[in-house]
A and B are shown apart, each in its own frame.
Chain A
Amino acid sequence: MLRNSLIAFGLAYLFAAAAWVVSSGVVRDDHELLNVACDPTRELWAEMNAAFVEDFARASGQRWAVRQSHGGSGSQARGVIDGMPADVVTLALWSDTDAIRKAGLMAEGWQDRLPNRSLPFTSTIVFVVRRGNPKGVRDWPDLVKDGVTVIAPSPKTSGNGKWAFLAAWGAVLQTGGTEDDAFAFMKALYQRVPVLDTSARNATMTFAAKKLGDVHLTWENEAFLEVKESAGALEIVYPPRSVLAEPHVAWVDRVVQRKGTEAVAKAYLDFLYTDAGQEIIARHRYRPTNPAVLAAAKFEPMDLFPATVAGPTWDAIQHRYFREGGVFDRILTR
């Protein structure tokens, strides 16, 4: 008796589970947006999504949800190309977003569809060091001093990794160095990186939780959060100059057309440019593009150079530095 009812219950459970799994693959309109984002923006989007959902419900009377997926910027782009149903992508690099356009999922000229070249905020790469800055790291050349180890994610998969690379490379050029100097500096620098993590947050965990390394090269916002969470064990060092990091935002035409979410996806991205959106951005220490909000948020003055110091276009930069056998690979081989 008991045995039979147990078996019956088990079978019913199994069929229910199987039916749910199979039906879960059916694409339907459940009033949901998916924001496929780069790794360090988790906390930003969590707060932004909640604010947008409320704002949109007030304006339209419809209650939507915004889902998040995070990972290394390059891997996330790859995921969208492979069919992740991203209504919106907020990746770390222009070239990652453009890879989605190249795959035919996004319209030409996507960059000009939103204000300020589709940049609701910018950021930069700063240093995080242990309490009291025991290795005395103040500027880029200090990274290759004796006995300093550096934590940075891999430029192959991570936006943070690429920006840190370009910041270090550009810092040499900006202080009068030649390309050969830059190459030698990068070789010395990446010899000091004991582990190349796949994404920004993984590198943060390596530095903050596993306590590996003396300096962590990371996004300004990630550094802010990392230091805040460390309760005094870590501090930020702002190098005198660094790269102007531009994480573009865009909606994915193919997905929003298929799901019928185009209007809401656009409303979501427009919300980022509103005062409310810009203030959330500033609170998470991304540099908002609204000048008034930026000024009020009091960011450390730094000399920020554009990525173009390393090459004329993103395609050229990607090809020269990060392709198989490119500059980065040559730096790693001894």
Chain B
Amino acid sequence: MADPSQRGARTRTDPAYIRLPLIAVTVGTLGLLIVVPLASVFVQAFSAGIPAYFRALFGNAETRHSIFLTLAVAPVAVALNTVFGMVAAYVIARFRFAGRTLLMTLIDLPFSVSPIVAGLVFVLIFGQQAALGGWLQAHGYQVIFAPPALVLATAFVTFPFVARELIPVLEANGPEEELAARSLGASGWQMFTHITLPNVKWGLLYGVILCNARAMGEFGAIYVVSGRIAGKTDTMPLRVEKLFQEYDNPAAMAVASLLTMVALVTLFLKVLVERQMRAQKARSAEVPAAE
């Protein structure tokens, strides 16, 4: 890879008639496609005044429930993905076995599969017409059109985030320190908590943050599996759509503004964690030189 400072120097030598239009196009597009819509969310949310904003968010039982539901469903889905993502990343980074490439491809599948398909697969497994779904329903347990399906669909859609983030970090670190720990008598668990986890913690956190942002904002797959029952299975994104369609623009935008704030906080945390990751990388690069 080229030295970043050098690349910057090269750009500065480009003539102004190339630089300025390109900068203008980038800034213009960013402004038009991102800043203006985001700002308009907040403008519209507060268009009826600040008290009305809080009334819209907390005065309506169905909106309150949607906030609660998102705060319950997203963390559970993220936790599932953190555990599975760690295991999958470890397996892929540390072991060589037949089907390893296939496994890597499978992990990425949720990124490329359409959300409606992601939703429908759960309907086909847990729907009343399916063997498993019918059996569960006959025994008084509802998966589909109930919060358990929301967690499953969200976990499916956000599955790649943690694993994808961890695989390169694990591969970059290499197994040497872990092997050393084992040879000095550490148990597998000790090795994991004292060596592996500290080495990847920022990468893991990074994956978790992205995963959570996506989980809270998930719409497509949830739309299919939730049945959109107001006050029961509507998460915040579904609630935004419903309020908008019921001509309640300020309330729709009030909920949308919460989701936007989640995005902004995510961005902020992302920058912090990225900084830590770079620092950690620099530290680990120094270690061999110091020895």
Contacts and interface: CB of A to CB of B under 8 A. Distances in A.
Q: Do A and B bind each other?
A: yes
Contact of A103 (B79, B129, B141, B144): B129
Contacts of B245: 42, 201-202, 204-205
Interface string B144-174: 1111101100000000000000000000000
A229 to B, nearest CB: 5
A81 B130 CA distance: 11
B203 interface: no
Given A27-B140, A205-B245, A18 B230 contact: no
Given A14-B75, A68-B229, A84 B244 contact: no
Contacts of B232: 34, 67
Given A43-B246, A82-B128, A21 B72 contact: yes
B247 A83 contact: no
A303 to B, nearest CB: 31
Interface in A63-99: 65, 67-71, 79, 81-85
A229 B133 CA distance: 42
Contacts of B151: 21
A83 B145 contact: yes
Interface string A12-28: 01100110111011110
Given A17-B75, A18-B79, A81-B129, A25 B143 contact: yes
B48 to A, nearest CB: 16
A22 B137 CA distance: 14
Contacts of A65: 231
B72 A82 contact: no
B227 interface: yes
A13 B71 CA distance: 10
B47 interface: no
Interface string A228-245: 010000000000000000
Interface in B178-226: none
Contacts of A205: 244-245
B73 interface: yes
Contacts of B129: 81-83, 103
A156 to B, nearest CB: 15
A84 B79 contact: no
B142 interface: yes
Contacts of A26: 140-142
Given A26-B140, A42-B246, A82-B127, A20 B230 contact: no
A65 B73 CA distance: 23
A21 B140 contact: no
Contacts of A103: 129
Interface string A302-321: 00000000000000000000
Nearest to A42: B246
A66 B141 CA distance: 21
Contacts of A20: 72, 147
Interface in B220-258: 227-232, 242, 244-247
A20 B150 CA distance: 13
Nearest to A35: B229
Q: Which 10 A-B pairs have the closest CB atoms?
A: A83-B128, A82-B127, A24-B147, A25-B148, A17-B72, A69-B229, A84-B227, A84-B145, A27-B140, A229-B247
29 contacts: A13-B75, A17-B71, A18-B79, A20-B147, A21-B76, A21-B151, A22-B148, A25-B141, A25-B146, A25-B148, A26-B141, A26-B142, A42-B246, A67-B231, A69-B229, A70-B242, A79-B227, A81-B128, A82-B123, A82-B129, A82-B145, A83-B129, A83-B142, A83-B144, A84-B144, A84-B227, A84-B229, A85-B145, A204-B245
